[in-house]
Amino acid sequence: MRQQKTKQERLHALDQRRSDWAALPISRQLFENEQTLLSLFGNSRDLIRQPYQLETFSFMAVYLENMADRQQIEEFIISPMLNQLREGIPEDDPGWIQRTIQTSAGLQTAQDFSKVTDALIRGGVILFIGHQAFAYSIPLTSWKSRTIEEPQTQTMVRGPREGFVELIADNIPLLRRRISTPLLHFTSVTAGKITQTKLSIAYIEGLVNQRVLDHVRKQLDSLQADKLFETGMLEELLKENRMTPFPVFLSTERPDVAASALTEGKVVIMMEGTPFCIIAPGTFWSFFQAAEDYYQNYDIASLVRIVRLIAYIISLAFPATYIAVTTFHQELIPSELLISLAAQREGVPFPAFVEALLMEVIFEILREAGVRMPRPVGSAVSIVGAIVIGESAVAAGLVSPAIVIVVSLTAISSFVAPYYSFAGASRLLRFLLMVIASTVGIYGMIIFFIGLVIHLASVTSAGVPYFQPFAPLRLDEQKDGLLRMPLWISNTKLYKQMQKKQESGGQA
């Protein structure tokens, strides 16, 4: 308890220091400004100061090493300033500095050290001028960005091969190219008391669900977090129902998926430092929809969505159903199959629950090993390990061949879901359902599913019911629910909204 209180005290002290920085004015003396920066950054070795003195004029360029482009600093700031000073300062022209430093990013003025420190951390260059009580901020960022390539987590047969990268500045044009309308707006938010992580909220004005947008803004404004490094952390903090294992936000690194969500009136949240963005709201049925559904014919897409739902039910309930039927409800099994199962289980020392639990735990270990091991050998080890362990366990008489089939089909079905985070809920609930099936059989499973439906009906995502558009039932949104209707009868709210705005004289 004392440790938690100490941490809160440290965060409060950090907030107090930030308010003190905002109260620190910029001095007219370069030496005082340099000492202030050294105090704020703790004399950090990457804080570069370049002071210059020519006769009666002095200036100092300050930036963080490898955060700002040194070549551009010399080319666009230092050299033009020195050349102009050698030619002479025009006394009757106070704007000679703005004309001398000509960069595409432009100059901004900073009146206090809070803006100075923020600009430095963002990769900017600060130019202090002697005998002036303000500074110039020039953004000359030199951050290394990963090239745009196909996402590894959401692969598809047909569709664009572009994926988001870690910089918001590179991700915004990917959305602009797909949604060519000035109604697409981006607003910046900062979250995380320590990390000061930059977030960007994207939405289409007039089309977005205003209640969802206001809800997201309110949650971000009241966000209590000291650090944010990935959108997964932000998803957990924005959850309204903290006890549900189901994800309530879609997470994607595909620009086409984000653009499609924007045209449906949803909100997209991008974070600096990660290629994944959050789509709000995320309903239960939206996790069975993939971007590729819209790139193929509607009948095939509808069939694939039904297959995904069936696969999810299999991944959740198949092992528990096997345990319940073989343990309590043998009368539900055909006679020929029952005799075959009994022959297979002859000599197996464990009940059905124990052998199912054993194989499930082994598979989870292999799955985690395949993810954490180096990519060239991870898949090979997991596949070979599953085959060898499965055959060896059957040959040793520890498990029956039937349970190997059950666990294998369950594992394959868990990979059908287009969103990996959604499959995690079935992995967790599968073990709970196996325990219930081993104690009270199918009756307990029925009670479990009734409770699960009640729980899902009470969950909300950004203020929107999790089971929408089926609960509550909305007929106007059934065109893209479990089934995908043909595109010629799908919704065209964006076009209608833009046409309505033009007819009203450009007012929303």
Angstrom CA distances, 48 to 41, 51, 64, 119, 120, stand at 11, 10, 6, 14, 11
| HEC secondary structure over 97-157 | HHHHCCCCCCCEEECEHHHHHHHHHCCEEEEEECCCCCEEEEECECCCCCCCCCCCCCCCC
The H-or-E segment that residue 268 falls in is strand 267-271
Alpha-carbon span 269 to 216, nearest angstrom? 9
Cβ neighbours for 341, distance < 8 A, ≥ 6 positions apart: 326, 333, 400, 402
Alpha-carbon span 116 to 359, nearest angstrom? 58
Q: Exposed/middle/buried for 21, CB within 10 Å: 0-12, 13-18, 19+?
A: middle
Amino acid making up residue 358: L
Q: What pLDDT is recorded for position 146? A: 75
Mean pLDDT by 10 residues, the chain (508 residues): 53 58 77 86 84 84 85 85 79 71 75 84 87 86 74 78 87 88 87 85 88 90 84 88 88 90 90 91 88 84 90 92 90 84 81 88 81 65 69 79 88 84 87 93 93 91 87 73 75 56 52
Q: Are 272 and 166 in contact (CB under 8 A)?
A: yes
CA 230 to chain centre: 6
Sequential DSSP letters for 285-300? GGGG--GGGGGS-HHH
Structure tokens, 346: 């002859």
The phi, psi pair for 409, rounded to 5°, reads -65, -35
Structure tokens, 68: 């700002």
Q: pTM for the full model?
A: 0.80
Structure tokens, 473: 């039932």
